[in-house]
Amino acid sequence: MSTTQQSDQMSSATVADRHRGALATGVWAVLAAAMVAFGLAPLAVPSSYVWTEHGISESGAQGIDGAWVTRLGFILFGLAVLLLVRVRAKEWRPLGTMFHLAFGVSMFGVAAFSTKPWEANAPYVDSEDFLHDIFASTLGFSFIAGAVTVMIVRRNRTVRDALPDLAAIAITSAVPLTMSTSIWGLLQRAMFLTAALWYGREAWLSGAGWQRRALHGSTNQWRRSPNRQNRRHQRSTH
């Protein structure tokens, strides 16, 4: 292979890696924006909403003033995951990609179809509440199944390497069991944050890989520099 061909291949790889790195950075930004929306949502809805008791979905419930803030958070979270699917599809393999794709799409579903209000006598559309529950259930299942699949595909050599995956799976599996408690809202927010951190770590892994490849490529380019090789040859002939 000629030097020109090697240079063209390295240039193409660098452009592709930079694109992946930019997408990974975008995922972090959109995830952060989603978490901000969820954090601000209780301030936008009526004061009878108690964030430690009521779930995230209830702050985006049907007929509630300010519900758009939570719905925006759902859309941003879904968008971030769909962007990450594009970045991590190769590493996640088809099965893992399918589960996380379902998670991202379901986030748009819970944004489009809202749950019933927390106030007992408030009117709501039962069919919309039902569809919200379907998408919400799909969210939980898809994340857990996707995280388990990715952990298996990753083939971690030690428990320490698998710890982030195990922690995310354990938390997101256990929290739904506490739905009837008085701190459901607090625990659900911890669960959403756990999922966001897991996806953020996946974005970081993709970005870190890009940085390593960029550094490795620049080092190899220096080592293979024709000018440097010519200087070495000139010194050896004198």
Question: Does residue 236 lie in a domain region?
Answer: no
Mean pLDDT for the stretch of residues 158-186: 94
User: How confident is the model at residue 160, as a pLDDT?
Assistant: 86
Give the residue numbers spanning the domain of 28. Answer: 23-230
- Is the pLDDT reported for residue 47 higher than 80? yes
> What pLDDT band is residue 161 in, cutting at 50, 70 and 90?
confident
How many angstroms separate the CA atoms of 40 and 192, rounded? Answer: 14
Nearest to 192 by CA among 80, 85, 44: 80
Residue 11 lies in a domain: no
Kindly state whether residue 15 falls inside one of the protein's structural domains: no
Number of domains in the chain: 1
**Overall average pLDDT of the 21-30 stretch:** 90
Q: Does 197 reside within a domain?
A: yes
Q: Is residue 1 part of a domain?
A: no
pLDDT digits (tens, 9 = 90+) for 214-228: 444 444 444 444 454
CB-neighbour burial class of residue 127 (10 A; exposed 0-12, middle 13-18, buried 19+): exposed
Q: Is residue 5 part of a domain?
A: no
DSSP code string of 139-167: HHHHHHHHHHHHHHHHT-SSHHHHHHHHH
Does 79 fall in a domain?
A: yes
157 burial via Cβ count (<10 Å: 0-12, 13-18, 19+): exposed
Query: Which pLDDT does position 14 carry in this prediction?
Result: 62
Examine residue 16 and state whether it is found in any structural domain, yes or no.
no
Helix orientation angle between 159-174 and 184-223, rounded to the nearest 10 degrees: 150
